[in-house]
Amino acid sequence: MRGVVAYLAAVVAIGLVFSRPGGVRADTTTDGETAHFLLHGGFDLWRNGGFGHGGLLWSPDGLMKEGFTLKLVLAAGTYRYRSGTTEITGRQYLASALPGWRFKDGTTELTVFAGLDLQQHQVSPDDPANRLRGFNIGARGGFDLWLEPIPAALMVTTSVSASTIGKNIWARAAAGVRAFDLWLGPEGVYGGDESYRQLRFGAHVTGLRTGVVEWSAGAGWVTDSDKRSGMYGRLGVLLRK
C-alpha cells in the first residue's frame, strides 16, 4: 500500500514544528508574561508531495512547567505514489486531538501524548488497493524528548508518533549546537509501515526570532522504498501567547 506516503509527510511536518525552540524561554512571551499557548504553522515539500499544517499546544500551567498539555493539529496536502505501473495522485486531510503530560528535570523535558486521529484520503484515479482512501478514525500516541547535555550549548531531541490508521510509525532525531543565537545541526527522520519506508537525512536551523514570531527550517535528502529520492525542505513558524 503506497498511499501511506501522505500520512508520513503530514506527520513529518507536524512532528518537526513541535521541536522546542532554543535560546529563549519557551514559557514567556515577548512582554515577559507566562505563555500558555503555542500557535504554529508551516509547510513540508519534496518531489512527490507537499503539505501545509497548523494548530496549537495548550499548557494551562505554562509551556515550560510540568503538567497537562494538549496538542491540536490540522494538516492537508497532495502526494503522488505508484500502484503497480499506475501513478496515483492523492489528497489528504488530517486532524488530531492529543492530550498528554509534560515531565521536566532541569533542561530535560519529556511530553507523552495519546488521542484521536482523523484522516480523509482522496485518490485519482481510484486505487482499490489503497485501504486508506476515504474517511478513517483511529488513535495516535507518542512522545517528544528534549535534553541539553551542555545547557544552552548542546541539545539532543527525539520524537516518535504512531497511528492505528495504517499502522504507521514516524520518528525523528536531531542534535544541535548553539551558534549565532540559533540551534544548528543534523536531523534524521524515519517513517513507514509493513509496505512502505521513507528516510530523510538533513540539517536544521531552529530558534530564529523576528519580533514575536519564531522560525525553524530544515533541508536535506529523502529516499523511500519506491526507489525514489530527491531533496526535501520544510519551514515552520510559531507564536507564544
Among 54-63, 70-79, 83-92, the range scoring the smallest mean pLDDT is 83-92
pLDDT at 2: 45
Say whether pLDDT at 28 is over 80.
no
Q: What is the pLDDT of residues 33-56, one digit of tens each?
A: 788 999 999 998 888 888 899 999
Can you give the residue range of the structural domain that contains 102? 4-240
Band (pLDDT 50/70/90 cuts) for residue 5 is: very low
Q: Which helix (H) or strand (E) holds 106?
A: none
What integer pLDDT is reported at residue 228 of this predicted model?
85
The reported pLDDT for the residue numbered 81 is: 77
* Per-position b or e across 173-203, b if 16+ CB within 10 A of its CB: ebbbebeeebbbbebebbbbbeebebebebe
State how many domains the chain has.
1
Average pLDDT over residues 211-236: 90
**pLDDT tens digits for 168-215?**
888 999 999 999 889 999 999 998 776 678 899 999 999 888 888 999
Segment 2-12 shows an average pLDDT of 43
Place of cell 494548530: 55
Top pLDDT among 121 and 8 is at 121
Q: Please state the pTM of the whole predicted model.
A: 0.82
- What's 177's domain CATH number? 2.40.160.40
DSSP, collapsed to helix, strand or coil, labels residue 199 as strand
- 25, 83, 103, 109, 198 from 179: Cα distances, Å: 17, 45, 27, 22, 30
pLDDT given for residue 19 in this prediction:
39
Q: What residues are paired with 240 via a beta bridge?
A: 38
- How far is it, in rounded angstroms, from Cα 161 to Cα 87? 28
